[in-house]
Amino acid sequence: MAGSSAVLTDDSLLSRLDRVLLRLETFFAMISGIAVFLLMVLAVWSVGGRKFFSSPLAGYVDWIEAAMPFIAIMGIAYTQRQGGHVRMDILIGQLRGRALWAAELLSVVLILALMLALIWGSWAHFDRSFDFSVPMWSRDSSIDIGLPIWPSKLVVPLAFSVMALRLLLQIWGYGRALVLGLEHPVAVPLVQSAAQQAMAEAEHLEGRE
């Protein structure tokens, strides 16, 4: 149900754009991964400071809360590219050919509509906390050490915009497959049977032990 799916590539413009965007997405996802690592270091520092030097880290909670949007949201397009967002494919897994591409197309169009709405909504959320005319441009601050909140609010529309670009490419990819009746379209994650998928996951682990 979860896990990644295969994305095919070739020399077409669509596939090249797919790979260009993938580089940006990977960079965003890497920021998320590094933020997780820093979160760990921060906690160790905080505990160490408190236990051994009785000088707790001021604003520990504020920093974690500020870091969480980077961790939780930056990689959204990367995960969409890999087909990594969970779904129930018991029904869609039975479809073949044009019926499958039509269903996939409908699904990504709906997701794009949601993302566009959320880009607007999350931008408004950011905008309420941001004001050029005040110190640190901040009109919303954290509870402990008064960190401005706008930078972490800005992450959301930013990451969602990359997601919207990804969805546009997928609409193109699925649309093309639907019109041309392709069997193995490029630039979109292909449905794998649960068994294939498990194999792919297992292979991934294989490499690491």
Partner 1 sequence: MDPIEIGLWVSGGMLLMVVLGMRVAFAAGMAGLVGLIWIFWAKRGMEWDQLGWALTVAIKTAGQVPHSKVSSQTLSLIPTFILIGFLAYYAGLTRALFEAAKRWFAWVPGGLAVSTVFATAGFAAVSGASVATAAVFARIAIPEMLKIGYNKQFAAGVVAAGGTLASLIPPSAILVIYAIIVEQDVGKLLLAGFIPGAFSALIYGLLIVGIAMIWKNVGPPVRGFTWGQRFAALPAALPIVAVVVIIIFFVYNPFGDAWGTPTEGGAVGAFIVFCMALIRGMRWPELKDALLETAKLTVMIFTIIWGVLIYVRFLGFADLPGAFADWISSLAVSPMLILICILLAYAVLGMFMDAIGMLLLTLPVVYPAVMALNGGEFVSAAESTFGMSGPMCAIWFGILVVKMAEFCLITPPIGLNCFVVAGVRPDLSVQDVFRGVMPFFIADAITIALLVAFPSIVLWLPSLAG
Partner 2 sequence: TEWNVSVWGKRRAFTEHIEKLAELVSEKTDGEFTMNISYGGLSKNRENLDGISIGAFEMAQFCAGYHPDKNRAITVLELPFLGVSNLDEEVAVSRAVYDHPAVQEEMAQWNARMLMTSPMPQYNLVGTGEPRQELGDFEGMRVRATGGLGEAFEAVGAVPTSVTATEAYNAMESGVVDTVAFAQHAHLSFGTINKADWWTANLNPGTVNCPVVVNTDAYEALSPEEKEALDSSVEEAIDHYLANYAELLKKWDTILEEKSVQKVEYSPETIEAFKAKAADPARESWIKDMEAQGIPGQELYDLVQETLEKHRAGN
Considering only residues 116 to 155 of the shown chain, the ones binding partner 2 according to CB under 8 A are 124-125, 128-129, 134-135, 138-144, 146, 148-149
Q: Which of residues 5-24 bind partner 1 (CB under 8 A)?
A: none
Task: Report the chain's C-alpha Rg in angstroms.
Answer: 21
Site string for partner 2, 73-112 (x = CB under 8 A): ----------------------------------------
What is the total count of residues that contact partner 1 (CB under 8 A)? Answer: 80
Residue 13 or 86 with smaller CB distance to partner 1: 86
Q: Which of residues 17-46 bind partner 2 (CB under 8 A)?
A: none
Q: How far is the CB of 54 from partner 1 (least distance, A)?
A: 14
When asked if residue 55 is in the footprint of partner 1 (CB under 8 A), the reply is no
Q: What is the DSSP string of the chain?
A: --S---BB--SSHHHHHHHHHHHHHHHHHHHHHHHHHHHHHHHHHHHHHHHHSS-PPTTHHHHHHHHHHHHHHTTHHHHHHTT-S----TTGGG--HHHHHHHHHHHHHHHHHHHHHHHHHHHHHHHHTB-TTSGGGBSSB-TTT--BSHHHHHHHHHHHHHHHHHHHHHHHHHHHHHHHT-SS-BSSBPP--HHHHHHHHHHHHHTT-
Q: Which of residues 49-78 bind partner 2 (CB under 8 A)?
A: 50, 54-56, 58, 60-62
When asked if residue 182 is in the footprint of partner 1 (CB under 8 A), the reply is no
Site string for partner 1, 32-51 (x = CB under 8 A): xxx-xx-xxxxxx-xx--xx
Q: How far is the CB of 101 from partner 1 (least distance, A)?
A: 12
Here the tokens at position 163 are 């997601």
**What does the alpha-carbon distance between residue 153 and residue 125 come to, in Å, rounded to a whole number?**
7
Residue 63 or 101 with smaller CB distance to partner 2: 63
Q: From the DSSP assignment, how many helices (H) and strands (E) are in the chain?
A: 6, 0
Q: How far is the CB of 75 from partner 2 (least distance, A)?
A: 23
Backbone angles phi, psi at 57, to 5 degrees: -75, 120
Q: Which stretch binds partner 1 (CB under 8 A): 12-20, 124-132, 169-177, 179-187?
A: 124-132
Q: Provide the binding-site residues for partner 2, judged by CB under 8 A.
A: 50, 54-56, 58, 60-62, 124-125, 128-129, 134-135, 138-144, 146, 148-149
